[in-house]
Amino acid sequence: MDLPSRHFGPRPLDPIPVEDGYVAGYQRIRVRMLSPTIGGELEGIDLRKPLDPDLYAEVRRALLQCKVVFFRDQPVSPEEQVAFARHFGELEVHPFLPEGESPEVIRFAKDETTKGVENNWHSDVSWREVPSLGSILHAVEVPRVGGDTLWADMAAAWKGLPDEVKRRIEGLEAVHDFTHTFGLAMSPEELAKKQEEFPPATHPVVRRHPETGEQILYVNTIFTSHIVGMEREESDRLLTFLYAQAHIPEYQVRFGWKNDSLAFWDNRSTQHYASSDYWPQERVMDRVTIIGERPAA
C-alpha cells in the first residue's frame, strides 16, 4: 500500500460541547476544557480527601470524556496520591523505574546531573501483557520555565487516518517490547532474566476502548517493535507513518506544570511526551500507574 507522502491535516474534529469554557452535566466538579477534544482542568475537588461514590463517578466520567484531566493546588503526600489512584483499580509496581516513598510510587528526579529522557511519544507500559488503565503524575518540584508535558488523543488520530490506511491496519497486531529502551542499560545476563519475566506482548494496532467503545491507534515509538506477519521494511514504513499521527497539533493538549499540579491520563486512549527543555533546572515528579486490561480490537 502506498502511504500518503505528506499529511494534509486532520479531518474535522468532534469537539466536546462546552458553555463558557466548561463542560455541561457535572454537579460536583467543574471541567474546563483546554483544547477541543482532549484535556480538562477539574475544579472544586480536594484530592487529599477520599472520593465518595458520586464524586468518583464524575472524576471517572471526566477522565473518559477528556482523556487527560488536570488538577491545580493539590499538595498531596505520596500516600494520598496512592489512595486517590486506588479508587480506580489495582496499582502496578514498575520493575525498571526508580521507586519513590513506596513500591507503587515512581520518582522522576532530574537536575543538572540527570537530563530528562521521556521526550518521546508513548503510552506507559504498553510492553506488558496487561498494560495500564492510566497514570497519575504529581509535580513535587518544577522548573521556573519549561518542563511541560503534552498528550495526544489517539482516538482522534485514528479518526483522522485516510480510509485506505484504516482498512489496511484494522485487524493487524504489533509486538511491544521493553528491550530497546529499559534493556539498553542491562547486562546480557540481567536482560535475559528480565526478558523471560516480561516477554514481548502482542496487541492490536487498533484497539477498542473497553469503556467508551472508541477505536484507538495503539502503537508508539518507545515500545512498539514491529507489526506481526509483515516484512520488516514494510512494517517500519507503516509504523513510521502511524507514529507521526501523535505529532499533529490538532490532536494535542499541552500542560504547564506548577508545584502541586496533578495530571491523570488514560493510557488506553492517549500518548504523552515530556518536554526536556528545562536542563539544568530541577524537576521532580511522582507517578503511580493503575493496571488496566488486555487490549482487544
Domain annotation for the chain: domains and CATH numbers: 18-291 (3.60.130.10)
Partners of residue 138 on adjacent β-strands: 262, 286
Q: Is the pLDDT of residue 17 over 60?
A: yes
Q: What is the mean pLDDT of the chain?
A: 95
pLDDT at 1: 63
The residues annotated as belonging to the active site are: 122, 124, 272, 287
pLDDT at 9: 57
Q: Is the pLDDT of residue 8 over 60?
A: no
Mean pLDDT of 37-57: 97
- Measured distance CA(269)–CA(265) in Å, rounded: 9
Half-sphere exposure of residue 5, counting CA atoms within 13 Å on the CB side?
Answer: 0
pLDDT at 38: 97
pLDDT at 60: 98
